[in-house]
Each structure stands twice: as C-alpha cells, then as structure tokens.
Amino acid sequence: MRKGIVLNFLVSIFMMSSVAAQLSDIEQRMVEHIDKINDEGMQLLIESVNINSGTMNFDGIRETAEHMLPHFRELGFNAYFEDGAEWNRAGHLIAEHYGSEDAPKIMLIGHLDTVFEPDSPFQKFEMINDTTAKGPGIADMKGGNIIMLQALRALKEVGALEDMNIRIVITGDEELSGRPLSLSKKALIDAAKWADISLGFENGDGNPKTANVSRRGAMGWTLTVTGTPAHSSQVFREDIGAGAIFEASRILIAFYEELRSEEFLTFNPGRIIGGTTVTHDDGSSSGTTFGKTNVVAETAIVAGDLRALSPEQEERVKNKMREIVNRNLPQTSAVIVFDEGYPPMAPTDGNRELLSIYSAVSQDLGYGEVVAVNPLRAGAADVSFTATYVDMAIDALGMSGTDGHTVNELGYINQFPRQAKRAAILLYRLSLN
C-alpha cells in the first residue's frame, strides 16, 4: 500500500469499527488465545528481566536478543541480531515478515537495553503483590517487548499474520545511543522509510489510559565562553571587560528570561565550569577548574540539554539561543554548539487518527478510552526517529508501570494481557483491506 493513501484507508476502517463497537469472532479468538498463553508470556518476561542488559553490557544485550529470537522465528519471521561494533554498542534485534503486497507496512519498535548496568544493586524480578512486580527494565521496556510477541502470537493463532507486512526493530542502545546516530539509528530509519505505520512499545507515562502521539526531541548543547584574564581589581575596565563567568551568567539568565515561556520547551544547564584554567570531558560528564578569586575568569563552559516538540520549534529556539550568545559583554566571546540528538515526534493528524483507532480497540475490549499523553510528561524515544517518514505513529503500547530508571521500577502485571490484547487487535484492524 502506497504512503499517502494509508491515512484515508485507515480512517474508513476506524469508522467501520466504531459503528460495530464490538469484537469480531476473529478478535475474540485472539483475546482468548492471549489469556491462554499469558502464563507463558509472564515466564518469558521474568527470564528477560533477570538478564542484565545495561546498555554497555554488550554480552547481556546479545543474551537478551538470543532469548527472544527463537520466538520470532517460530512465528515465521526472518529474525537476526545486527552487530553494533560500528557505533560502539552491542547491536539490534531485527525481525521481518512479508505477506500481501496490498497490506499496509507496519514497523514495531522496542529496545533490549536498560539503565541498570551489572554493578547496579537492582538485578532481579520480584512479585510485590497480585497486580504488581518489580524488576530492572520491567516497564522500560522488557515488558513491551514481550507484549509485542504475545500480540503477534495471537495474530498467528487466528491466521491473520500470514498476509501482514511487519518489520521489527528492537534496539540495543535506546538508553544511551551509540554514535554516530546515522549508524546507530539506521535500522530504525530504514524500516520507517519502508513503512506506512510506526508503533512503539515503550511504556510512555506508564498509564494504560494514555499513549503518545508526540514526543519531544532531546539534544545536548555546550556553551564555551572566553574572557580576558587580569587582576580582579581591573574587572570592567574598558580593555579588560567582564570576564568569562559574568558573560556565561548573562547568557544563562537571558535564556531563562526570553525562552522559558515557549510552550513544551525545556532547556537546562546541567553542568558549569569556570576559572583561569578548565578541563571538560563530555564523555564522563566531568571537568576540573582552577581560578583564584582575585583573577578575572578566562574561560567558562556550560553543558546542558534542549527539548522541543517539533523540528520547527527546535530550529527556532536554537537560532534564538545563538542570537543571545552573540550579544557579548565587553571583551568576551562565546560559542554554543548543539549535539546530534533525538528528533522531535510532532503531533500530526495521522498520529491522532491512529490514536483514535487504538482508543476504539480499547473501548471495544471494555478497557475504556485512551487519550494522548501531555508531551511534557514524555521523554525522547526511538519512535521519534521514524515519525517523519510514516503516515501514522504512536508510542506507549507496552507495559504499564511506574518509577522507571530507578531501583523501584514497577510493572503492572494485571495490565500485561490487556496491553497484548489491545496491540493484537490494533494490528489486526490496521491490516484489513
């Protein structure tokens, strides 16, 4: 199915499903199958959570992929592990299934890695009560990976998978991306250029009543300021000027005063170093400084991040920051450099329509409406690299939970089969032609 007509096609499918407002016989069979295999899915989830796969634990990433690969192959996917040596990461799990030429092309996104490296005290799955479990990456996002698998199993059970066109990219470096991004995200971008629809199985804000139609991008920036060193008693003299630290302060205050009213925009200086002599190591997020209090500072370095909702907002704000940086105090100079980062996923009409279809699925299952997450509550994610290439994209189809990236990370076990059912029926309805 050609891009550009997918949105109109799916709108008609959505209208038909809304009128029916109930599950078809095939959909009911998928629901029943997911209930039947729920214990098996939970066992896979426990096994996956108990494999340490911190981003820099390359062996653990590969083991997590090897744990899943046979299950995709059983479903008829060409599934393999793509080595990530070129971008200094373990690599990605890729799985491909091609059916009817007329069926929409759908990509599914997950990630293998967690923020918990082998030296973390948080390593094992633990049941808290009948509805909640604790474990590293249970919500972000090993639960989402298994939900994806459970949904595909249900489609296979009823014969619906055979004609579907699906590419799966489960990355090994979502939490700490390899560089350059042109290599580490190539599998995602290539799949997106092929696809009509992109579905992310991240956990979003952890609430099963929400999903993401937008995500803010995230990029780093480094501000380097230079002043004229001199005895402090001569500061502000015409030929000495204000010094690097005053200039850095002036720039940061101007950022705060002139940009903080931008809706959905955040910018944060997370690290500042200044003095006569400084060193800065961005890789280790550290540095050193030497400067006596009676010397005008020669150098100041500030490192921070920037998050915007759309490419247009991002570019406008970058230009404004550059303009502020160039209003130098006497005898100072400053340069701001923006790093490559996660692009924004803008809230498009196609994304909103896809959310409407997903919400209708949820309501037909009796689980209630699904609404869009406020983008201020959603961090960057791999789906953002795909959004500009597809007609429709949403994220947060995965495991509901809370306290991600902390040793208190929880997954809501009672939502595990529900999310699998919603994903399975969504995929089925998207495949209809």
Residue 256 lies in a domain: yes
Residue 392 pairs in a beta bridge with: 197
Q: Are 309 and 380 members of one domain?
A: no
Residue 358 lies in a domain: yes
- For residue 50, give the DSSP letter: T
Q: Are 115 and 226 members of one domain?
A: no
Tokens of 60: 């653990």
Q: Are 132 and 102 members of one domain?
A: yes
Helix axis angle, 38-49 to 25-36, nearest 10°: 50
Q: Are 173 and 224 members of one domain?
A: no
Q: CA-CA distance, 397 to 206, in Å (whole number)?
A: 10
Q: Are 378 and 313 members of one domain?
A: no
Q: Are 223 and 212 members of one domain?
A: no
CATH number, domain of 304, equals: 3.30.70.360
CATH number, domain of 402, equals: 3.40.630.10
Say if CB 121 and CB 210 are below 8 A apart.
Answer: no
Q: How far is CA 341 from CA 10, 221, 382, in A?
A: 32, 10, 11
Q: CA-CA distance, 63 to 27, in Å (whole number)?
A: 34
Domain coverage including residue 239: 219-338
Residue 210 lies in a domain: yes
Q: Are 323 and 359 members of one domain?
A: no
Q: Are 47 and 188 members of one domain?
A: yes
DSSP for 63-85?
A: HHHHHHHHHHHHTT-EEEEEE-G
* Per-residue pLDDT of the chain in tens (433 residues, 90 and over written 9): 546 655 565 555 554 444 345 899 999 999 999 999 999 999 999 999 999 999 999 999 999 999 999 999 999 999 999 999 999 999 999 999 999 999 999 999 999 999 999 999 999 999 999 999 999 999 999 999 999 999 999 999 999 999 999 999 999 999 999 999 999 999 999 999 999 999 999 999 999 999 999 999 999 999 999 999 999 999 999 999 999 999 999 999 999 999 999 999 999 999 999 999 999 998 788 999 999 999 999 999 999 999 999 999 999 999 999 999 999 999 999 999 999 889 999 999 999 999 999 999 999 999 999 999 998 887 789 999 999 999 999 999 999 999 999 999 999 999 999 999 999 999 999 999 6
Q: CA-CA distance, 194 to 97, in Å (whole number)?
A: 13
Q: Are 20 and 82 members of one domain?
A: yes
How many domains does one find in the chain? 2
Residue 1 lies in a domain: no
Tokens of 35: 């209930």
Element (H, E) at 301: strand 299-307
Q: Which of 338, 369, 391 is the last residue of a domain?
A: 338
Q: Are 276 and 212 members of one domain?
A: no
Closest residue by Cα to residue 158 from 45, 15, 40, 23: 23
Residue 37 lies in a domain: yes
Say if CB 115 and CB 389 are below 8 A apart.
Answer: no
Element (H, E) at 312: helix 311-325
